Structure 1
Amino acid sequence: MTSIELDIWRGEWGLASVDSECLKVLTYMKFIGVPVRVRESNNPFFTPKGRLPVMRDGRTVLTNFEEVIEHLKTLHYSTDVHLNTKQAAEASAFTQYLSEKLLPAYQYAWWVDEKNYAELTRPTYAKALRIPFNFYYPSSYQTAAKEMIDALYGEHTDLREIEKTIYSEAEKCLKTLSDRLGESEYFFGNRPSSFDATVFAYLAPLVKAPFPNATLANHVKGIANLTRFVARINQKNFRHVTDEYNRQNAKKQTTGTQSEREAANFPHQTRNKLLAALFAAVAMTGYAVANGMFQDLKDYEHAQDYNEMFENDEDDN
């Protein structure tokens, strides 16, 4: 079992991975406790489909979440064994519902919205890639997302109308999820399922990522039980990631605060130095006057004038 390897996109913002598909597989593996070696990849070029995640178990190479679930079942690892027939059917129906209503909105927010793509998505993925792949893959993924949206909403010509329709459907889906979860820890009892991994993978990036256009993200954040759901799973399964993120954030804030204090104190420090120099000059002047140094200097200057006068007279002679 220790031979299982999982290649994923790197994490950001306290997430184990910035990519929903990677997060889905990784979270599921955390749920079932399967021994796995996780590697952050910076080049999906040699993967079977040019995408991540990729799970390898010996000669078995899988890139699809459902295939990963089935393969792990053969190794006697599964989170869904506690589901009865009715719950399993409900989970399957909800998964399809998410695919139809929430996934398009997620893809739109990440890849199609131009402001989000330019300021968040593309830089995030490009940061994780090597040159020249950082120029190719983000635009390639964006093209695939646009094709998906066009296939679903091609009858609309106005992009704003498409956005409004997509987000409206997503909000209804989120409301249904919220109602289904209620105050429970998970969607089906007190144990996590593959459906919980799927929901978490869609919601966590929306909650954590700093979207410039945060229309969908803000709606998720406004639903209390779903944001608590994300926080619980993140803390329970990826605590080392969240702790490291919080530690780095605290360090940045401390450094920033110190820099701000130094910047704020700079005018006062300069003023104090100038006042100190002025005080020293005044003190030295007072000391000099008190000791007759100025009189000596005046006498010296007069002597110099007389000498020059005598020298001039001698020259004239």
Structure 2
Amino acid sequence: MSFKVVNFNVRNKNESSTQIQILKALFSCGREKEDFLTSIKKYIYICSEQYLKTHAQEQWPQPIIFYQPYEVEQILLPDNANCLAVQAYLKMCGLEFQIEPRSNAEYMSPSGRVPFIQCGAFLVAEFDPIVAFISSKGTSLSEQLSQTDKADMRAYMSLVNNVLVNIEQYICWVDQTTLNSATKPRHGSVYPWPLNHVINWQKQNQVTKRLKVLGWYNKTLDEIYKEAENCCTALAERLEGKSFFSGEDRPMELDALVFGHIFTILTTPLPNNTLANIVKNYPTLINLCRRIEMQYFQRTDD
């Protein structure tokens, strides 16, 4: 199967603007001290985004190929949460997909993050771009919502992405107990020595740099757990008295995202179970996970 190539002949202002973004991505290599491979990834990602905007209305095939790391021996808490969120979203949309685990899924991804899907000639990575891509094909869970409700949904999705994701990254890559006993053995398990140590160091350096920029790296564990409590409280209050966040009998994107993270936190064994114990104090969120698990993953409630 061959992938479509974007034509960069400038025919309008939008394409010209896109080319300027591409040039900035390539020339950022020297300014931001990024290696050439990182700049090329930025180049490809911008190309993909522009191509999706231009050609998204074309007919698309099924099933979707869903790429992620190996679930049993390799995947970590943050990636597992993201993968499960996308799987839940695809199931809620009624779309068929085939899971293809790959040890190098992160390096196959156009954005360097998992999961990513292959749909015909398209490669799309991460929750928000996948939702946008599928929505452009005419399938949306929030199409009936008002603009106010859509803005409210996006705000809570941003809360999950800016709090729970950072907490998961912190626990896996900053907390020394989890880092040494769980993260490094799992993340490096698919690589031979000494490559496993190099890959672990590279990933840890990447995550800690991001957390430092966002102001999360220097937080204490107590502060991290307090952030988790605040986030769960906000989500539980928003969901109170409803089956799903929309207030109706059908889920939307926020439900899939919350399910992915809350369910993964509850079911992932870690040296320190404090984060899972915090989540267990919110039965509203736990019931949401059970509802989605039974309805879309055909699992029985034990």
Tell me the TM-score normalized by structure 1.
0.66
* Counterpart position of 2:246: 188
Q: 1:172 to 1:53 in 2, by over 3 A?
A: same
Hey, what does 1:225 align to over in structure 2? Answer: 284
Among residues 103, 122, 131, which one is paired with 2:165 in the alignment? 103
**CA 1:237–1:12 in 2, change beyond 3 Å: closer, same or farther?**
farther
Contact 1:8–1:54 (CA under 8 A) maintained in structure 2? yes
For residues 228-280 of structure 1, give each alpha carbon's deviation from its aligned partner in whole angstroms, at most 9, with x where no partner exists.
2222222322236x89xx9xxxxxxxxxxxxxxxxxxxxxxxxxxxxxxxxxx
Are residues 1:172 and 2:201 paired? no
Q: Which SS does the other structure have where 2:192 is aligned?
A: coil
- Find the residue that maps to 2:132 and give its secondary structure: helix
1:114-155 superposed Cα distances (whole Å, 9 cap, x missing partner): 21222233333344x34366544444333222222222337x
Task: Work out whether 1:84 is the aligned partner of 2:146.
Answer: yes
CA contact 1:79–1:192 (8 Å) conserved in 2: yes
Which amino acid in 2 is paired with 1:172? N
Comparing 131-140 and 185-194, the one that deviates more: 131-140
Q: Distance in 2 between matches of 1:143 and 1:82?
A: 43
**1:20 maps to 2:78:** no
Contact conserved, 1:54 with 1:62, CA < 8 A, in 2? yes
1:198 CA drift (Å): 1.2
Q: Give the residue type in structure 1 aligned to 2:280.
A: K
Trace 1:138-149 onto structure 2 (pairs within 5 A). Answer: 138-149=200-211
Larger Rg: 1
**For residues 75 and 153 of structure 1, what CA distance do their matches in structure 2 show?**
37
Judging by fraction of residues, say which structure has more helix. Answer: 1
- 2:261 is matched with which residue? 202
* Distance verdict in 2 for CA 1:47–1:98, change over 3 Å: closer
- Asked if 2 retains the 8 angstrom alpha-carbon contact of 1:110 and 1:116, the reply is yes
CA distance in 1, matches of 2:196, 2:260: 23
Structure 1: state its 5+ residue gaps: 247-317
Q: Supply the distance in 1 between the matched residues of 2:139 and 2:96 (Cα, whole angstroms).
A: 11
Equivalenced residue count is 236
Deviations 1:64-118, CA, capped at 9 Å, x for gaps: 3222112112322211123222211110111122233332222212322121222
Q: Is the 8 A contact 2:63 2:95 kept in 1?
A: no
How does 1:1-317 map onto structure 2 within 5 Å? 1-12=61-72, 19-44=80-105, 45-127=107-189, 129-131=190-192, 134-153=196-215, 161-189=219-247, 190-239=249-298
Tell me if structure 2 keeps the 8 A contact 1:109–1:216: no
**Compared CA separation, residues 187 and 12, structure 1 to 2 (3 A):** farther
Q: What code does the residue aligned with 1:84 have?
A: S
The whole-number CA distance in structure 2 between the counterparts of 1:236 and 1:124 is: 31
Q: 2-side partners of 1:108 and 1:37: how far apart? A: 31
Contact 1:34 1:77 in 2 (8 A): no
Q: 1:111 to 1:204 in 2, by over 3 A?
A: farther
Q: CA deviation at 1:166?
A: 2.6
TM-score using structure 2 length: 0.69
How many percent identity over aligned positions?
26
2:186 maps to amino acid? T
Following the alignment from structure 1 to structure 2, what is the Cα–Cα distance between the partners of residues 226 and 10? 27
